[in-house]
Structure 1
Amino acid sequence: MKTGRSLTDLATELERQAAMKKDLMVPAKRMSSVTHTSGQCNVMVEEAGGAVRYPLNDTACSQLAKRLDIPFSYFKRMRADYPELLDQNVNGWLRRNAADSYLLRTLDGRARAFLSTRYRRLDNFDLAKSVLPILQQLPGARFESVELTEARLYLKVISERTTCEVAPGDVLQAGVIVSNSEIGCGTLRVEPLLYRLVCSNGLIVCDRSMRKNHAGRALVSDDDAVLVFKDDTLEADDKAVFLKVRDMVQAAVSETTFELISEKMRKTMGIALVGNPVKVVEVLANRYALNEAECTGVLRHLIEEGDLSGYGLVNAVTGYSQDVDDYDRATEFEELGGKLLALSGGEWKQLAEAA
């Protein structure tokens, strides 16, 4: 499993971000685009104290383009080659959409998300404050990997007392992953996690999960004013969501859930990869959009492990996740391991016999 930061470092950064973030609901008529010749996009917002410039990161740029129905490939081309044209496009559509408002999420004076006013804020600090005590109470709880990326918060916890042996000396432990995005890059999710002791691989089971999307009631705005949100505006609704998270955490590491997932792992041991291993990985790559470097990495793990079975392929995928620099992408490979467990017999046959 990909190593993250320490729990202390995570808590410190969550507290810092909670103090430095600011959320604004901005009428389209109160904002404009200003793009620097360097390609840095900014939005100017007419706040109560005067105009404030917020540089946009790539996520906010893509969301701005989506909100205004500007193809992002064209947005990036204008940003790089013709910044003035980009501003003309964005400002023109903002004027056309003058009756609309948008949720602008900022951190450290930079715009990190450009969202609909229906976006439901579920913030990482509040989630962590609610769920960490629950995770700490799991039997033999061990925080195996925690991280806060630009896109998501991840809490991956193992319950050391819930174990099984799928083969002599090959022990699996039950776990759970809680993840959330504050910037529209995914739902709040609670999912079972399998941890393989012999190689520290983690596997996320996506088909037995809770997912809470960030859609909510449309926020009511003053057509002429920029509203700054306070942290207590959604506390009551948050508590209901976090109670559901508590229940799902307990279900994710239950003996019943663990036995079902472990049995799926055992069954992959009986799937022989009788085809060409290179072709097997190519079929996998085509199905799940792996790039060339990722294909090479998965194939290397498959060959080095020397287990040409479905079980070996699952472990090659999750093992490769530890080599991936980007934590978000590494977690996607842990999820891919879980997706392989959910394949039908026919889908496994297509993989196993690739030639």
Structure 2
Amino acid sequence: MSLDSYARHLSLQDLVPLLQEQQAAKVDVVASASSIRAHDGMVELFGVTPVVDERGVTAVDGLYRPTGAADGQIADKLGIPVRYLRRLRERERLDLYDGNVNGWLHGHTDTDLPEPDDRSFLLRLFTPPQQNQPGILRALVSDRYGIIDNLDVLTAVLEGVHAAGADTEIRACDLTDSTMHAKVYSPQMSALAPKFLANYRSAFSNPDLETERRRVAGDLDRWRPIAAREGKGYALGAEPVVFAGFRFSNDETGHHAVRLTPELVVQICGNGLTIPMFAHTHRHVGERLDAGTVSWSQDTLRKKLAVITAETRDRVAEWLSPEFFAARVEELEQTAGAPVTQPDKTLDVLAKRLGFSESERTEILSHFIAGGQLTAAGVANAVTSYSQTIPDPDRANALDDLAYQAMTLA
């Protein structure tokens, strides 16, 4: 995958090869500030001990191009205003970029400037695709960062689902250079939600909106994936059915956490309404790593993954129980029917309260109109259908987490 790249609306069969490809390109190294410098807007490592692992010996000295997230972490660790550092890159003032980063890393003979930084950092890298090309700096984080990779998390969560005895399917996955998102639902756990879906038609019956959704998915045809699966096709808008499900995500480069969140999945269009107040977060903070040390022992890793598996088993057993599902659908139905008579003004207020950008507010309004549902539920469905058209999976999932609140505020 390329710098700051996204892959959206993948199947599990699509996801696993990409995770394996990323895994093969990953290198993690702890390096002192004295062995890091900026050069032409890239990060150069020098004098760093090569990494020795099951793949052999990997030399890590050389140039790495930071992702946008890594630029933010560099700014944070060195106390440089992040907007300023990003503006230098955008305006191609790489001389000033280098001067700021190197000045704070290495200090200066002038006593008014800082002393050299004496810290060490964990750098998460992708090796160069070819010789004489730069690699990718995915993250510059604390040397206490707990490494648990996406492929390990995927395996641990799926083992937890199996241990819970749940009948589930992965309906869609998203992947970036740093983060994995996966959406799971139970085809056997369904209920009618007539108020939540009253008069709703899929926003993707609008060809322009469907084109946007397909554009972010590349050539993967995933339109209405649940309704079409296992003979569940039906006339558009005929059945107000929701399924029980949950999502899980793992961030390899920033928040060092696995997040599990229950959700309700709309059959007609695949909208996923997360219920963030029940979300469970597992943080994996590690011990301090010495220079050159890049991972925990396999025994330690197995124990940490076993905790994730056990937590997933317990959450899935709770969230996919008939009692939990019925309670969430009832809550949904109680809120859904509130009328929205002035959608433009309503979206203005919600944008300010929930942090929607102007372009997001405009697009959500388009999905609201296309959905034809002039209620609070229509606002939630507009947010979750619009999120499917966004290239950035992290922002798309953040919007889905705001949809329930948007419905209650509408």
Partner of 2:398: 332
Q: Secondary structure at the match of 2:185?
A: strand
After superposition, residues 335-346 of structure 1 pair within 5 angstroms as 335-340=401-406, 343=408
Q: Give the structure 1 partner of residue 171 of structure 2.
A: 144
1-structure distance, mates of 2:322, 2:21 = 38
Aligned residues: 334
1:27-106 map, 5 Å: 27-34=32-39, 36=40, 40-48=41-49, 51-79=61-89, 80-95=91-106, 96-106=115-125
By how many angstroms is 1:145 displaced? 0.5
Q: Which runs of 5 or more structure 1 residues have no equivalent in the other structure?
A: none
SS in 2 for 1:287: helix
Match of 1:16 in 2: 21
Q: How does 1:221-300 map to 2 (within 5 A)?
A: 221=290, 225-229=291-295, 232=298, 234-274=301-341, 276-300=342-366
Is the 8 Å Cα contact of residues 11 and 170 (structure 2) preserved in structure 1?
no
Q: Distance in 1 between matches of 2:28 and 2:344?
A: 49
Q: Displacement of 1:24 after TM fit?
A: 0.8
Q: Distance in 1 between matches of 2:260 and 2:295?
A: 27
Contact 1:272 1:310 survives alignment (8 Å):
yes
List gaps (5 residues or longer) in structure 2: 1-6, 51-58, 107-114, 128-134, 199-238
- SS class of match (1:8): helix
Question: Which residue in the other structure is 2:258 paired with?
Answer: 188
How far residue 113 of structure 1 moved from its aligned partner, in angstroms, is 0.4
1:158 aligns with 2:214: no
Q: Contact conserved, 2:11 with 2:171, CA < 8 A, in 1?
A: no
1:206 aligns with 2:276: yes
Q: For residues 97-144 of structure 1, give each alpha carbon's deviation from its aligned partner in whole angstroms, at most 9, with x where no partner exists.
A: 532111101123321001011222221111112222444676442221
Query: For residue 285 of structure 2, what is the aligned residue in structure 1?
Result: 215
Post-superposition shift, 1:242? 3.1
Bigger mean CA offset, 40-49 vs 161-170: 40-49
Change (3 A) 1:63 1:139: same
Q: What amino acid is the match of 1:106? A: L
Which amino acid letter does the alignment assign opposite residue 318 of structure 2? Answer: A
For each residue in 1:67-95, what CA deviation from the matched residue of structure 2 results, as whole angstroms up to 9, or x when unmatched? Answer: 00000122123333432332222122112
Q: What secondary structure, in the 3-state scheme, does the structure 1 residue paired with 2:43 have? A: strand
- Offset from partner CA, 1:239-285 (integer Å, 9 cap, x none): 223322332233222223212221121012331224x2110111111
Taking a change above 3 Å as real, the CA distance of residues 85 and 269 of structure 1, as seen in their structure-2 partners, is: closer
Q: Indicate conservation of the 8 Å contact 2:263/2:273, yes or no.
A: yes
Check 1:7–1:270 CA distance in 2 against 1; reply closer, same or farther (3 A cut): closer
How far is the alpha carbon of 1:231 from its aligned partner?
6.9
Length-normalised TM-score, structure 1: 0.86
User: For the Cα contact (< 8 Å) 1:134–1:246, is it kept in 2?
Assistant: yes
SS in 2 for 1:184: coil
1:152 and 1:185 in contact (8 A); partners too: no
Distance change in 2, residues 1:258/1:3 (3 Å): farther
- SS of the equivalent of 1:112 reads strand
C-alpha spacing 1:181/1:309, structure 2 compared with 1 (3 Å): same
Q: Tell me the equivalent position of 1:120.
A: 146
Structure 1 residues 139 and 247 mapped into 2: Cα distance closer, same or farther (>3 Å)?
closer
Q: Is 1:175 equivalent to 2:194 in the alignment?
A: no
Runs of 4+ deviating beyond 3 Å: 77-82, 133-140, 214-217, 225-231
Instruction: Read off the aligned partner of 1:340 and give its amino acid letter.
Output: A
* Match in the other structure for 2:110: none
C-alpha distance in 1 between matches for 2:138 and 2:8: 25
Task: Report the aligned-residue RMSD.
Answer: 2.4
**81 and 107 in structure 1: CA distance in 2 versus 1, 3 angstrom threshold:** closer
Amino acid at match of 2:28: D
Asked if the contact 2:160/2:309 (under 8 Å) is kept, the reply is no
Classify 1:186/1:311 alpha carbon distance in 2 versus 1 (closer, same or farther; 3 Å).
farther
Distance 1:265 1:46 in 2: 58
